[in-house]
Amino acid sequence: MNDANPTSHAIRVEPYDDYFFEGMGRQNMSFHHALAELIDNSIAASEFPFEVDVYLASDEPGEIAVKVVDKGSGIGITDLIERALKLGGRPTSTNRLNEHGFGLKNSLCSFTGNSTPFLIQTRDQAALEAGAYYEVAGPFQRDMVAAEQPTSGWPPDGSDASGTIVSLVTSLGYLQGIQQTRGPRATNMATLTGYLLEHLGVMYRGYLSTIVPGTTNVQGQIRIHQGGDTHHVEPLLVPMDGIQRVELPFTAGGSNYVAEYRHGVLDETLRDNAGFSLYYQANIPTQGIDVRIGGRTIATRQLSEIWDRDRHNNFNSFVGELVIPADVPREFLRSVNNKSAYDVNDDIWASLFHDLNANHPPPREARAQTERELRDLLAHNFQTYSEDQIVKEYAVWASAVKIDIYRKNPATGAITLYETKIGQAQPIFLYQLRMYWDGLALAGEQPTKAILVAADFQDVHSQMASQLNQLQDPNGNTYNFEIKRIQDFPL
């Protein structure tokens, strides 16, 4: 070694092909996240309203065939060669869904472990006019080929115009991971498809529920085809009552934006009616808020990740959503490479979370506090402005259930029951009142009236109350149900 002229040794950083691509498939990327990367690409390549079709088949034991078909712009031959299959190669578009340039590669390696084949078939407008399309067959390797094929070979389930089809085979075990439980894994494809519909309904709720301006169409549709059945992915909104909204201004790239943080109390009726079985289960693993950028939810169940709070059963009813505007450039508020979380090293994320942590802490026992407060305010109102006997949590059915407020006029003996709810009225709440009424009647006390107090209600709920009022209770007396809004009471 010469101290005056040290020797330099050149290093060419190249991957060990087999191990590198195999390693890309080992990043704890769940089936629905891998599938979402393919769907993201399809949405990014499409105008609104987009259409994405996902086909699932289990023709071979232990294997699942997956195919994703879109009607997007397709991949031109230049992009196919120079960008789409290169690590970090991003399309020329600025769509946030093409944020990293790793999605397609991450997805295919996660699905296949880069040990089983995949097939990409695509055509842009130029290829369509030339009567051709392009095929790239995997697994990934250093040297790959985009084969030009005649239009006559284009799959019949592909788009009539431009578009892309990605086909692959993965394992049943990988699909079963979407269940996200430690218990026995489901083997029935219909059950597993149901779980997948739930995941995608949460992930794409923004796109599937937002109307394209000037039209009556939502921004797009995602369909899952399995076993001869077609299932439309429905937007699954956060099931919450008592919604509170907070605006969080921030600056990105010299422009000003406003994020919206909305949170409330888990509405178990809305949850159950929507068919949730994995999310918003009023337990420690599913408590917290979701984080969404535009139409795409990138993180769910966030609590201790944002706030200086340990997870606890006291937060089981706390749900919400932090929504970032869709037009924030993709260089800011970045997600991790597989879009399953946000980049904690991003300064703007850090600033937003600091604001939430300092000024908007999650409420403990949100449902119990809010509905208990409403009940207590209403009971106090009755006690202040009447001589009636007021009892909170009046027990019926051998103390198995409790009426929110029992009110009895000492002069007339008239008994009024109240059920208090902080959110939208639901049909089941009227049946709760009927249960209270029947329990009281069977115990020898005849109710005169039962009132459901809620934040709001629709005509259908009033009609239901009217129909119930045509029926008789166990004593042969006609029911008398009413629905009133919280604002009808001077609380």
pLDDT tens column, 142-153: 889 999 999 999
Chain position carrying tokens 């990105």: 252
Q: What is the pLDDT at residue 369?
A: 64
Does residue 418 have a pLDDT over 90?
Answer: yes
Q: What is the CA angle 261-267-270, rounded to 5?
A: 110
Residue 392 per-residue DSSP state: E
Does residue 365 have a pLDDT over 80?
Answer: no
Does residue 56 have a pLDDT over 90?
Answer: yes
Helix (H/G/I), strand (E/B), else coil: 191: helix
Q: What is the CA angle 31-335-199, rounded to 5?
A: 30
Residues 6+ positions from 172 with CB-CB distance below 8 Å: 58, 62, 63, 64, 187
Does residue 24 have a pLDDT over 60?
Answer: yes
Q: What is the pLDDT at residue 196?
A: 98
Domains of the chain: 24-232 (3.30.565.10), 240-363 (3.30.230), 367-488 (3.40.1350.10)
Q: What is the pLDDT at residue 226?
A: 97
Pick from 231, 166, 230, 236: nearest CA to 207 = 236
Let me know how long the chain is: 491
Q: How confident is the model at residue 90 (pLDDT cuts 50, 70, 90)?
A: low
What is the residue type of 452? L
Does residue 89 have a pLDDT over 80?
Answer: no
Q: Which two tokens stand for residue 181?
A: 């439980």
Burial (0-12, 13-18, 19+ Cβ within 10 Å), 132:
middle
How much is the mean pLDDT over the chain? 91
User: What is the rounded distance in angstroms from the CA atom of residue 107 to the CA atom of residue 35?
Assistant: 7
Does residue 101 have a pLDDT over 80?
Answer: no
Q: What is the pLDDT at residue 78?
A: 93
Q: What is the pLDDT at residue 422?
A: 79
User: Which residues pair with residue 225 across a beta bridge?
Assistant: 55, 230
Q: How confident is the model at residue 268 (pLDDT cuts 50, 70, 90)?
A: confident
User: What is the rounded distance in angstroms from the CA atom of residue 244 to the CA atom of residue 123?
Assistant: 47
- Picking from 31-35, 37-41, 155-159, 456-460, which range would have the lowest pLDDT averaged per residue? 456-460
Torsion angle of alpha carbons 282, 287, 290, 291, nearest 10°? 180
User: What is the rounded distance in angstroms from the CA atom of residue 278 to the CA atom of residue 199?
Assistant: 8
Q: What is the mean pLDDT of residues 323-330?
A: 94
Does residue 1 have a pLDDT over 80?
Answer: no
The answer to whether the CB of 298 falls within 8 A of the CB of 291 is: yes
